[in-house]
Amino acid sequence: MSGAPTTLSELAARIGARFVGDPGRRIVACAPIQSAGPEEVAFVANPRYLSFLTETRAAAVIVAPSQATPEGLARLEAEDPYFAFREAMIALHGFRVHPSPMVSGGDGHSAIPAPGHDGGPSQSWRSGAAFIHPTASVGEGAQVHPCAVVERNAVVGPRCILYPGAYVGESVVLGEECVLFPNAVVYDRCVLGNRVTLHSNVVVGHDGFGYATHGGVHHKIPQAGVVILEDDVEIGAGCAIERAAMGETRVGRGSKFADLISIGHGTTIGQHCLLVSLVGVSGSVEVGDYVMLGGQVGIAGHLRIGDFVQVAAKTGVVEDAAPRARLGGIPGIDLDAAKRNALVGRDLYGMARRLKALEREMAALRKQLDGAS
């Protein structure tokens, strides 16, 4: 995952930034501003890290053009420093390189052609310890690692990668360049678009939480729907996305999940949404596009969340949210009001004591007034 060393001027050209400093300064890696060394580049996009500018040892720092820096500190000026940092990470480190599938007992870099292929450059490779049903289709350039399972009538698209323990259920369809990390599971009939990534222990398409209580017994409702993940969706480790009872559960194009997120059956997550760890979305919820849900947000069932809504961490959403609303608190209300409530609530015990004291004073005053009359 490392790129070739470069110079300050070369890096500036690759990330679309303007450099100020020694153009020949050697850059080998990216690093946090508080720990970067003399051959590493750092960035500042969050004001809370500005204090480190005066003490960093970084070879250069990526900043906005308007950001002041100490004299002598080389800088890479970019209108969007965080995106420029992303480009620098690609230039200097690159993305993860996926290992080749192992032959059972092999050297870790060998594999055998999948059935029906001749071993050419666009060959699909599979470990001898993988399990691929004869009716399944594995596209060109795909790699199937040991103990991965591809069930009957499943379609694995070109250049997909199935790590050890990945499970592709019956009649599942994976688009091009999907990656299923170890022990990721896709239940039967679910559909993944192109370039979908499932990190370890993700479960897509298990039964929704649907029961009819009758005569004091919870009776399971068959879950006949599916899950659809559109192009460029990335799902963090340990997430669970339920299949719909009828119809579909859908995650829109370009949406990204952190870890340990639960999506209920029949819910729709819009395009380009960001969900932080431990979010829980109940069933039959409609989430719009470009929605951001902070850590531990919970959304009750059958709600509609408009486009561009932002929900602060630990918020409990119990009613529909209009487009561009900013919510916080339990239950979720306007974020500014929630912040004011939180500030007031920091000393409820002290407020209660003062209220009791005022009540005693009022009682004493009434007693005095009654005596005077």
Q: Mind telling me the catalytic residues?
A: 265
**Beta-bridge partner residues of 304:** 286
State the Cα angle at 208 between 205 and 209, rounded to 5°: 155
CA–CA separation, 159 vs 144, rounded Å? 10
With H, G, I as helix, E, B as strand and everything else as coil, classify residue 339: helix
Q: Which two tokens stand for residue 195?
A: 């370039």
Q: What tokens does 156 get?
A: 């694995």
> Could you give the count of Cα atoms lying within 13 Å of 363 in the half-sphere of its Cβ?
6
Strands 316-317, 298-299: pairing kind: parallel
Compute the half-sphere exposure of residue 158: CA atoms within 13 Å on the CB side of its CA. Answer: 4
Beta-bridge partners for 29: 40
Task: Identify whether the C-beta of residue 190 lies closer than 8 Å to the C-beta of residue 228.
Answer: yes
Angstrom distance (rounded) from CA 113 to CA 122: 11
Integer Cα distance of 208 and 301 in angstroms = 13
- What does the alpha-carbon distance between residue 142 and residue 98 come to, in Å, rounded to a whole number? 11
Instruction: Report yes or no: 348 and 332 within 8 Å, Cβ to Cβ.
Output: no
Residue whose entry in the numeric block shows the structure tokens 């719909």: 244
Residue closest to 163 by CA, chosen among 133, 197, 136, 212: 197
Sign of torsion, CA 141 125 180 224? positive
Tokens of 55: 């003490």
Please state, in angstroms and as integers, the Cα–Cα distance from residue 357 to each residue in 22, 364, 368, following that order. 68, 11, 17
